[in-house]
A and B are shown apart, each in its own frame.
Chain A
């Protein structure tokens, strides 16, 4: 069985598992990192959204063998450290707006929101209604209204 090595939330990890196992299961089932949630396994629901080298991605759609040793994977557990704080400003905004209901989709929503704000900031603009409309993360509890408010609040602090 091959050994897979990559950076996870600021630390180097190695795990023995076949190349074609999707990263989501390596994180959840083998490394016990359960912040990224399973909601579909086919890159549709976005509940597993995490970051790779600072960009949003969905580990349910990435064979672990495709990662190289210096790829930096950040899950919701590692997000605060990227802001050098106990909580990332987007998480603070989520708390201020009391967004979560059942909470299941929320780690993915927050990771997607952070990546979206970084993206529009790279493009030198602010989040628009169209950007918010374009978010694909599903929330079956229907927390969309507060998600939209929280993203705008988090954006202001990022």
Chain B
């Protein structure tokens, strides 16, 4: 049931009338950025057997300013963006993160975040190692189970982890160092200021006598909690760890197969469990006609019906697959039965807002364009999975979760158990891309375990993960821009989207807090707040207006390595190219002239130079260039794409080929860089996502369900489409604060590829991915049974 559209809008009238191209950027963010000056911060030494140093989660953050503190200037993300929002949300409660010094001389830390591949366990260990002068391998970072008292501070999203945890971790580490020095001064009989910490966790007196952290761990322990004031000054320059290239702390486990994901855990009796789902999206089972026969199949122990499908538990997942395929059930159609891409798109077009009138100016010329972005799956390699052991008096859950507190509360309510009786363990997951903000697997596993009365290890089949798992919503962007006398005087973008689900708790929990937001932002629904806080037009384009309208709640949606930016920016960067061409200017030079921000201009210049912008290219091939500003940083991307027929039509079995991105030059200014190796890796990954969004990967809705059911249907970038040449430049920065990385590579790449395809083919693409309307490149797998059979020919396909 399509809901009435909700709309938000924000206007950006330039108060100085027509902007002057190339006028110096004003960057309010720089002056508002917290952490520049030397500050005294509050930390704690907590009572314990060994030294426990702690800091409040919000340490170092500036309190959200009252409405008159942050000027209500027109571009919210420039002064106050989504990361501030996520960080400030954590100020509501006074919560502690803790570093423990152990008797073996190691430091341990439980990170209240999910590691899903983005490298935050490594970067966190690096921050602690540097502050404590410890080698990286003596810092143990683990993932904290659900800690209800942490509320929003335990949500991993918006590429916000490092931004929000950097200062609190430094404070706690500084407290630990201080307590160790004090304990050492007692032992060595010197005053604290005569002692120095040495690399390797050693404290040395002027006469050369030394004592190790491990020996001090107990002596430095506090009997009672006490407050400590610490100063976070300049970072010391000697023995730096932060900013040096470090390999991931879990790399060895990953390459040896020892790294454990939810389905690898051996929980006693948690036998394999799978679900048979409806032939239409979100359909419900009415009856299983052959229940008894399915229960008798080899290996099967339980078969039970739920509103999400029919669950089967068996000795092996292979036997679950066979049993799911054997189920004969009657189904009630899901809410989008009978609909397809075209009918959903029609609904979006109806919901779209009209663009407001343009000012009447002499010689005004306008450019208009509509863009469509189809559904995309945020399925990770590791499908939705969870282990649940639900008993009458308590429950334990294991799953890769980015919002474990919300999962714990909601699962407890669903099971009818007190929150304190439900333990939720956060397991490393094989990718997230937005999906693990939700806990679809954990919720189902808990229900199944409760009903069956046994522990279960639930794993979604790939076909379900692609079809019924969450998707990035379909959306449209209508853009109108006007220029006259060499200036762009107006840029309007009306973005209309299937509703993005924020019901992972962030939305609800923030409601109270949102009312205190500056600039009247508090009245917006959560998705609108996110839109308003992330979308920023990085150009001086006069009156800028960007609106979000949402319609239609019937889909399973979520973010996908960002929510709005890749689509919004791809559409607007294509229009920037069109404006440049209408005004007779070069795309790079035009962007440079209208750029609002010096950091953006710097990354743009970097890729233009390193990528030899404007070099001679063969017909059918072209360069594309774009910029993006988000996550307290700036990115730019230059790509070269080959759209010649011999490339586009090359044949790879069971695959799409199409245009090939042959080279990517990417530059990122991510503020203070914790780990260059990890930052580069995140950009490389984001580049492949951007290419997939532009060229190959989407879900097709047909007959009320998505048809893609495998990685050979849903065409995420593969080796044959990945660029053979990728260059990532990390910009030096004097920012004292790190920016976000996990999602930062996607938007600029998507936009640059789209621009390059337009220039190579002479035709601006207006729907994405560009191959979406071509005939399907695969034979859709049946919907009944919902999952494909296991093949038997593996021994004939060896190499």
Contacts and interface: CB of A to CB of B under 8 A. Distances in A.
Contacts of A23: 794
Nearest to B266: A32
Interface in A48-81: 52, 55-63, 66, 75-77, 80
B299 interface: yes
A96 to B, nearest CB: 8
Given A102-B117, A104-B261, A144-B719, A45 B316 contact: no
A141 B795 contact: no
Contact of A45 (B255, B321, B381): B381
B614 interface: no
Given A59-B794, A140-B380, A95 B247 contact: yes
- The listed residue with most B CB atoms (<10 A of its CB), out of A37, A100, A104, A142, is A142
A47 B318 contact: no
B733 to A, nearest CB: 22
A145 B712 contact: no
B254 A106 contact: yes
Contacts of B256: 35, 76-77, 80, 87, 91
Interface string B367-381: 000000000000111
A135 B431 CA distance: 20
A38 to B, nearest CB: 7
Given A61-B790, A142-B688, A134 B381 contact: no
Contacts of A56: 798-799
Given A77-B257, A95-B252, A101-B119, A39 B799 contact: no
Contacts of A76: 255-257
A4 B432 CA distance: 37
B798 to A, nearest CB: 4
Question: Size class of B's contact patch?
Answer: 35 or more
Contacts of B722: 142, 144-145, 148
Interface string B149-165: 00000000000000000
Interface of B is mostly: loop
Nearest to A17: B316
Contact of B263 (A38, A57, A77): A38
A29 B315 contact: yes
A133 B718 CA distance: 8
Contacts of A104: 117, 261, 380-382, 430-431
Contact of A60 (B272, B430, B791): B791
Interface in A16-37: 17-18, 20-26, 28-30, 32, 34-37
A19 B116 CA distance: 36
B255 A106 contact: yes
A32 B263 CA distance: 11
Contacts of A41: 317, 321, 461-462, 788, 790
B797 A141 contact: no
Contact of A52 (B252, B688, B795): B795
Contact of A100 (B254, B318, B684, B788): B254
B646 interface: no
Contacts of B247: 95, 98
A45 B795 contact: no
A37 to B, nearest CB: 7
Contacts of A138: 381, 711, 716, 718
Given A61-B791, A95-B247, A141-B685, A38 B798 contact: no
A84 to B, nearest CB: 16
A99 B788 CA distance: 32
- The listed residue with most A CB atoms (<10 A of its CB), out of B116, B461, B687, B798, is B798
B662 to A, nearest CB: 11
B39 interface: no
B711 A39 contact: yes
B433 interface: yes
Given A25-B319, A101-B681, A103-B251, 10 more contacts: A25-B316, A25-B318, A41-B462, A44-B712, A58-B794, A62-B792, A102-B380, A104-B431, A140-B716, A141-B117
8 contacts: A28-B317, A35-B256, A62-B795, A102-B428, A110-B255, A139-B381, A140-B379, A141-B381
Interface of A: 17-18, 20-26, 28-30, 32, 34-45, 47, 52, 55-63, 66, 75-77, 80, 87, 91, 94-95, 98-107, 110, 115-116, 119, 129, 132-148
